[in-house]
Structure 1
Amino acid sequence: MKFSRSEAGVTHVLVTGGAGYIGSHATLRLLKDSYRVTIVDNLSRGNIGAVKVLQELFPEPGRLQFIYADLGDAKAVNKIFSENAFDAVMHFAAVAYVGESTLDPLKYYHNITSNTLVVLEAMAAHNVNTLIYSSTCATYGEPEKMPITEETPQNPINPYGKAKKIYFNVIGSDPDGRLGEAPRPELREHGRISGACFDAARGITNGLKVRGTDYKTPDGTCIRDYIDVTDLVDAHVKALENAKPGHLGIYNVGTGKGRSVKEFVEACKKATGEPIKVEYLPRRPGDYAEVFSDPSKILRELKWSAQFTDLEKSLQVAWKWQKSHRDGYGSTKALF
């Protein structure tokens, strides 16, 4: 089968961490846009179930390839590049929980920094010159001015941000109900707030724990810029389509609006229709009070802006997937 993407000059994309939450959604979008994709994932955080869903959606030979490998294994990574002609790399593979990073910082420095270097060395050795690197707002730390721009000094305050050194907090799921977020049970305490809300709504946990109510914000809880995963992967694909040789583009990917944790919890209660019990606790190490973006640069240069900006609606979509996949990717009953 012939694969062409003449307007962008890209055919075959390596998606690291493509079995994870964001990586799988990015892979879905790339495949829908007629790219050829190879996923590399060690499944330490990702789900083979997500890969199976993608393989069922795109069964044509040569469209999607999955390779089980660890990016820390330079020999394995070099072999992958030797056996495949990649035109670009979309790099999502990383451990990605702020709380966990403060408990095990060395894991984060090794996983994010060292493993990324292995990928970069393989790219250089095999003349693959296009990299879309998925970062995090945690690199900015505690900015003095809001909203943050691409020129805001990066002063991370936790090991995750220090290792990543630019998207914001991710929510939602595939609007057609094919993919969602299914974090490993042992990592629930470190996971995203949306997952914690859904776990409380489903009775998996006995309530939601909100850490920190004394920040210098209007209601005392942290303020974040919540971006729908569909918008996030659209921004990554726009960056891929507009990649130019020798050009480094850094873009903040967000809605441009901050929402507090208390606001988020209320939206989650409405989206799920469940009376979520909330327990307020002291601050968690490594958290910062407020961060939200000014996405005007990516609008100006890549013509991208967030489209799914209704927080409650994004959570409703994600909640439908959660309800129909009570065992994560182990259950496939659909409500869509």
Structure 2
Amino acid sequence: MAQPKVLITGIKGFTGTYLAAELEANGWDVWGVGSQPDEADLRYRCVDLLHASDLRAVVEEVQPDAVVHLAAIAFVGHSDADAFYRTNLLGTRNLLAALAGVRHKLQCVLLASSANVYGNTTEGVLTEDFPLNPANDYAVSKVGMEFMARLWMEQLPIVIVRPFNYTGVGQSENFLLPKIVAHFRKRAESIQLGNLNVWRDFSDVRAVVRAYRRLLEVRPAGATVNVCSGRTHSLREVLHMAEHISSHCLQVQINPAFVRANEVLSLSGSSARLRDLIGDWDVPPLEETLRWMLGAR
């Protein structure tokens, strides 16, 4: 029996690297596309998602059984607001149009959205049925992507995932936990942060990609699924964990520019639907993830 073939967009990125390894370890033939050339990788193609004809050519060449669409501009503070819409919305539309025209029958198309679509003003545990309330261009682009994807659901077996915060070795220091880890690793004297008394849901990238793999295997076409730990930690807790692991203390300076107006104190996701779909699945304790990140070489 031939290996199932998967095409991952954004395969060279943080999540894509871990997902490729997870799928290869579980019997998938992994192909990928991205924005940077890599001629040494024979199963990789450098493609701009905004160039529809090039994208169609790659899809026709690979003839995947499944697709995971990770390629996106994900840093909320990215300086070019237009880029969110070009890449996250129009790039996704080009991909879906290419997939709808492929001769090979697809088993699953997994689209990575974001828990940012819920906004940051709804307190408590968020299920997939909570109203969408995006608060920045990144989140609006993801909401637009989700609604646009609905136009293709009769033609394609689409599953939308809404991951909450997740982290791990290799994530950019533009993101909060890698920034904190980097300061402890270099034993910095101080760090500038926002509100330390906000509680958020953090997952480990290794658990996230396991969830993505299982969703590819169970193929719940039409579903929208939170991917989250269901556990919350405050930033103050994160700092204490990092201090304990590293045996280093640093001074925290509260920068008013990093404090969001009307930000809710506690925000987490419900993973009930995910667990109903994929069965037994868990996220390592955050302290274990931080220990892994702080010990990385």
1:19 aligns with 2:1: no
State the aligned residue count.
275
1:125 aligns with 2:101: yes
Instruction: Report the equivalent of 2:269.
Output: 293
Q: After the TM superposition, which of the residue ranges 284-293 and 143-152 deviates more from structure 2?
A: 284-293
What SS does the aligned partner of 1:98 have?
Answer: coil
Between the two proteins, what is the percent identity of the paired residues? Answer: 23
Instruction: Give the corresponding residue for 2:30.
Output: 37
Is the strand fraction higher in 1 or 2?
A: 2
Alpha-carbon separation, structure 2, partners of 1:206 and 1:133: 41
Query: What are structure 2's unaligned runs of at least 5 residues?
Result: 144-161
Contact 1:255 1:305 in 2 (8 A): no
Following superposition of structure 1 onto structure 2, how do residues 299-318 of structure 1 map, counting pairs within 5 Å?
Answer: 299-308=275-284, 310-318=285-293
Say if 1:145 and 1:279 are closer, same or farther in 2 by CA, change over 3 A.
closer
**Cα deviation 1:132-152 (Å, max 9, x = unaligned):** 111211010035341000111
In the TM superposition, residue 301 of structure 1 has moved relative to its aligned partner by 2.3
Measured at CA, do residues 71 and 140 of structure 1 come closer, stay the same or move farther in structure 2, by a change above 3 Å?
same
Match of 1:195 among 174, 178, 199: 178
1:56-135 map, 5 Å = 65-100=43-78, 103-127=79-103, 129=106, 130-135=108-113
Structure 2 counterpart of 1:317, one-letter code: W
Alignment of 1:1-336 (within 5 A): 3-4=2-3, 11-43=4-36, 65-100=43-78, 103-127=79-103, 129=106, 130-165=108-143, 166-172=162-168, 180-181=169-170, 183=172, 188=173, 191-203=174-186, 207-211=190-194, 213=195, 221-244=197-220, 247-284=221-258, 288-289=263-264, 290-308=266-284, 310-321=285-296, 324=297
1:194 match: secondary structure: helix
CA deviation digits over 1:208-235, x for unaligned, max 9?
Answer: 2212x3xxxxxx6332110011110011
Matched residue, 2:148: none
Q: Which moved more, 1:312-321 or 1:11-20?
A: 312-321
| CA–CA distance in structure 2, aligned partners of residues 295 and 117 of structure 1 | 28
TM-score normalized by the length of structure 2: 0.84
Does structure 2 conserve the Cα–Cα contact (< 8 Å) formed by 1:22 and 1:92? yes
Distance 1:39 1:182 in 2: 19
d(CA) in 1 for partners of 2:34, 2:245: 32
Match of 1:332 in 2: none
Q: Which runs of 5+ in 1 are unaligned?
A: 5-10, 56-63, 173-179, 214-219, 325-336
Provide the secondary structure at the position in 2 that maps to 1:97. coil
Q: For residue 195 of structure 1, report the CA deviation from its aligned partner.
A: 1.5
Deviation at 1:319, TM superposition (A): 2.0
Q: Distance in 1 between matches of 2:187 and 2:83?
A: 28
The separation in 2 between residues aligned to 1:112 and 1:228, in whole angstroms, is 23
Equivalent residue of 1:120, what SS? helix
TM-score scaled by length of structure 1: 0.75
